[in-house]
A and B are shown apart, each in its own frame.
Chain A
Amino acid sequence: MLTFMNNSDSEEEPCNERTSLMSAESPPVPSYQDGLQASEAGEVQAHRKRRTGSSRSPNNVADGDMSDSGVPVRESASENEEEELTLKYGAKHVIMLFVPVTLCMIVVVATIKSVRFYTEKNGQLIYTPFSEDTPSVGQRLLNSVLNTIIMISVIVVMTVFLVLLYKYRCYKFIHGWLILSSLMLLFLFTYIYLGEVLKTYNVAMDYPTLFLVIWNFGAVGMICIHWKGPLQLQQAYLIMISALMALVFIKYLPEWSAWVILGAISIYDLMAVLCPKGPLRMLVETAQERNEPIFPALIYSSAMMWTVGMAKPDTAARGPSQQTWDAAEDGRENHRNPSHADSRMSETRNPVPTRPITSFEELEEEERGVKLGLGDFIFYSVLVGKAAATGSGDWNTTLACFVAILIGLCLTLLLLAVFKKALPALPISITFGLVFYFSTDNLVRPFMDTLASHQLYI
């Protein structure tokens, strides 16, 4: 499913986020899958590795001239080798997602802990019109539920709208919308953020310098995200805008509403991705049918693929030269993540032993990463940030939520390996996170405080 990285601000455009996790390839070959699943018992790491294995296999098999020779060879001899190799790479992919999620969370937590601005209550978004300053608990609960309903319905409407636009190929409109929203994010929110950080540390900066810095930051960001740029820079920008968005949410959502919204969003995500008529699922399927990548501004991908000007858009070319092949659609970006170079891979990949040549006729290794929607980043960070902000300022709670979210992500990736289709990334992680937040805050904290005051160790 997709993540729509839009900004919702108090007064400006109505936007929203969606989240999900998607495995970045076309549906896998059933025979390979069966062979895969038969050879393993249901174990944690094994599945994780298998995900990459299966994620790579369709590319090989999907290739027109390789498919016939590919499948039987693969299933017999090289299957084990591929599995073996996919072990490390499977874990590697999980780490590739761990790192950005961790970075985003660290940025958000650091900001929350140091900059006072984001924990002051200065009003609410128009999407959450009901205030929570009511005297009675029941009233507050009711208000938060109403807020949630409004927010979720806004999100649903926007998602459906986007899907309709996509279906009817109004690409220009979508692109314009995305560009506008990322423009606003990059410039306005960065300005606010920078202003607050400078205020906190009492650093003076004059307006021309500020203007220059923000202009450069924003311009490079726009180019990186929407056009071409080095992969790591693009990833860094995506992480930064996710963090900014999460900070906005943390600031402007009232407390109980935030928790209820988190819960409701994960339920919605579950439904939107898995139900046959869910908007996100339709979006992904349409994108896969048309063999297009989903908009780069909405998805964080851990590795990019070369796209070759052939029938199969998912073949990759290996080589040190970074050439860009323009595909039919304009949204496609071709970058190579050099850290995944591995000659062993290419040899075992190809049933036909070919050398790694930078010729685009041959099927070389592809570096397929896992794609995670930006909304996932945002909501994970919102959870951890809220834990840091309101969990009595306790680091234990923050740490517990962090570990819970990472484990949820692991499990989701594991399920991705099992099911091999786009999955919602939110539910498991958010559930774990919420459970751990509330339990740590209420149960563990008194325990640990008492222990610490007596300096006992368990």
Chain B
Amino acid sequence: PALGLFLFTIARDPLRIIILIAGAFFWLVSLLLSSLIWFIAVKASDPRDEPLQKGLLIFGVMFSVLLQEAFRFLYYKLLRKAIEGLVALSEDGCSPISIQQMAYVAGVGFGLMSGAFSMINLLADALGPGTVGIHGDSQLYFLTSAFMTMVLIFLHTFWGILFFHGCEHRRWWEIAAVVVMHLAVSGSTFCNPLYVGSLVPSYLLMAAAAAWAYLLSGGSAQNLRRFLLCK
């Protein structure tokens, strides 16, 4: 579905593709830094201590989430400046791409990159021979991974919109809400392989974020009804 989003909404406009790739790049850099921190922590600690490793992993995850949001903020700043430049260039005072579109594209960029990194090794291994969950792990590993990745991509998109909106209107609570939601989703994955604990809350959060972003972008229940009925 994320690929469909990409094809239908982004691939037409080259500017959006550039913003997408840049968004992916920013996510990548944040991942790099967070894994650097984790790596240092792991190297500095005892590799045989299981709970410590688990704890470090959790710490790494949380830190990575925070870094991702920080980079989203940096990306927002960069795009702000770019918008000013575009506005100055254009003839009628409004840029060819609005900040909301940029938010959407940036969110998709982040999401695609995170999804790709989460899924692609799995997909490559899925092509090969093997049995899922042979060591007593869950047999639904691939399925749940796929769903989780999808929900994460969508969430990143919505968070992008919410985040930028919050930055635009200086509503810090919105930004904080995004960060908290991200932490919650990542934290819920700690319940894996108890999939109920992670998938269900994530989907609920996604629905909430989707509705919120939709409302923020100017939609309303009436629009939705009109769209669904009179096409």
Asked whether B39 lies within 8 Å of A443 as measured between CB atoms, the reply is yes
Closest residue to A93 on the B side, CB-wise? B14
Which single member of B91, B148, B190 contacts A84 (CB below 8 Å)? B91
Closest residue to B141 on the A side, CB-wise? A455
Asked whether B118 lies within 8 Å of A406 as measured between CB atoms, the reply is no
Please count how many residues in chain A sit with their CB below 8 Å of the partner chain's CB atoms.
48
B100: chain A residues within 8 A (beta carbon): none
Asked whether B190 lies within 8 Å of A41 as measured between CB atoms, the reply is no
Which residues of A does B touch, CB under 8 Å? 39-46, 48-49, 80-81, 83-84, 87-88, 91-92, 94-95, 98, 394-396, 399-400, 403-404, 406-407, 410, 436, 439-440, 442-444, 446-448, 450-452, 454-458
Asked whether B121 lies within 8 Å of A396 as measured between CB atoms, the reply is yes
Q: Chain B at the A interface: mostly helix, strand, loop or mixed?
A: helix
A80: chain B residues within 8 A (beta carbon): 89-91
State the Cβ distance, A218 to closest chain B Cβ, in Å: 34
Asked whether A395 lies within 8 Å of B85 as measured between CB atoms, the reply is no
Asked whether A40 lies within 8 Å of B114 as measured between CB atoms, the reply is no
Asked whether A456 lies within 8 Å of B18 as measured between CB atoms, the reply is no
In chain B, positions 32-88 with a C-beta closer than 8 Å to chain A are 32, 34-36, 38-39, 42, 57, 60-61, 64-65, 68, 78, 81-82, 84-86, 88
Asked whether A443 lies within 8 Å of B36 as measured between CB atoms, the reply is yes
Which single member of B38, B78, B189 contacts A457 (CB below 8 Å)? B189
Given contacts A43-B85, A456-B190, whether A451 and B120 have CB atoms under 8 Å apart is no
Asked whether A440 lies within 8 Å of B32 as measured between CB atoms, the reply is yes
Asked whether B117 lies within 8 Å of A448 as measured between CB atoms, the reply is yes
- Fill in one digit per residue for B88-123: 1 if any A CB lies within 8 Å of its CB, else 0: 111100001000000000000000011011101110
Asked whether B192 lies within 8 Å of A403 as measured between CB atoms, the reply is no
Which single member of A40, A447, A455 contacts B192 (CB below 8 Å)? A455
- Does B203 sit within 8 A of A, measured CB to CB? no
Asked whether B91 lies within 8 Å of A443 as measured between CB atoms, the reply is no
Which single member of A81, A87, A407, A443 contacts B21 (CB below 8 Å)? A407
A98: chain B residues within 8 A (beta carbon): 17, 21
B31: chain A residues within 8 A (beta carbon): 444, 447, 458
B118: chain A residues within 8 A (beta carbon): 448, 452, 457
26 A-B pairs (CB sep. < 8 Å): A40-B88, A41-B88, A43-B82, A44-B18, A44-B85, A45-B15, A46-B88, A83-B91, A84-B96, A88-B13, A88-B15, A95-B17, A98-B17, A98-B21, A396-B121, A399-B116, A403-B24, A407-B21, A410-B21, A446-B35, A446-B42, A447-B38, A452-B122, A455-B193, A457-B148, A458-B64
Closest residue to A92 on the B side, CB-wise? B14
Q: Chain A at the B interface: mostly helix, strand, loop or mixed?
A: helix
Closest residue to B114 on the A side, CB-wise? A458
Asked whether A395 lies within 8 Å of B61 as measured between CB atoms, the reply is no
State the Cβ distance, A156 to closest chain B Cβ, in Å: 33
Alpha-carbon distance A439/B40, docked complex (angstroms): 13
Given contacts A43-B82, A43-B84, whether A91 and B25 have CB atoms under 8 Å apart is no
- Does B221 sit within 8 A of A, measured CB to CB? no
Asked whether B39 lies within 8 Å of A41 as measured between CB atoms, the reply is no
B57: chain A residues within 8 A (beta carbon): 450-451, 454, 456
Asked whether A45 lies within 8 Å of B85 as measured between CB atoms, the reply is yes
Alpha-carbon distance A452/B119, docked complex (angstroms): 9
- Does B175 sit within 8 A of A, measured CB to CB? no
B81: chain A residues within 8 A (beta carbon): 41, 43
Alpha-carbon distance A458/B189, docked complex (angstroms): 9
Alpha-carbon distance A83/B93, docked complex (angstroms): 12
A452: chain B residues within 8 A (beta carbon): 118, 121-122
Closest residue to B15 on the A side, CB-wise? A91
Closest 5 CB pairs of A and B: A43-B85, A46-B85, A447-B35, A91-B14, A95-B14
State the Cβ distance, A116 to closest chain B Cβ, in Å: 15
A399: chain B residues within 8 A (beta carbon): 116-117, 120
A404: chain B residues within 8 A (beta carbon): 25, 28
- Does B124 sit within 8 A of A, measured CB to CB? yes
A45: chain B residues within 8 A (beta carbon): 15, 18, 82, 85-86
Asked whether A403 lies within 8 Å of B35 as measured between CB atoms, the reply is no
A49: chain B residues within 8 A (beta carbon): 89
Which single member of A41, A410, A447, A455 contacts B85 (CB below 8 Å)? A41
State the Cβ distance, A249 to closest chain B Cβ, in Å: 24
Asked whether B78 lies within 8 Å of A44 as measured between CB atoms, the reply is yes
Alpha-carbon distance A211/B192, docked complex (angstroms): 57
- Does B210 sit within 8 A of A, measured CB to CB? no
State the Cβ distance, A186 to closest chain B Cβ, in Å: 32
- Does B152 sit within 8 A of A, measured CB to CB? yes
Alpha-carbon distance A444/B42, docked complex (angstroms): 13
Given known contacts A83-B89, A407-B25, A458-B114, what 10 new A-B pairs fall within 8 Å (CB)?
Answer: A46-B88, A87-B89, A95-B14, A98-B21, A394-B121, A400-B28, A403-B21, A439-B32, A448-B35, A455-B193
Given contacts A88-B15, A396-B120, whether A436 and B32 have CB atoms under 8 Å apart is yes
State the Cβ distance, A339 to closest chain B Cβ, in Å: 12
B22: chain A residues within 8 A (beta carbon): 44, 407, 410
B152: chain A residues within 8 A (beta carbon): 457
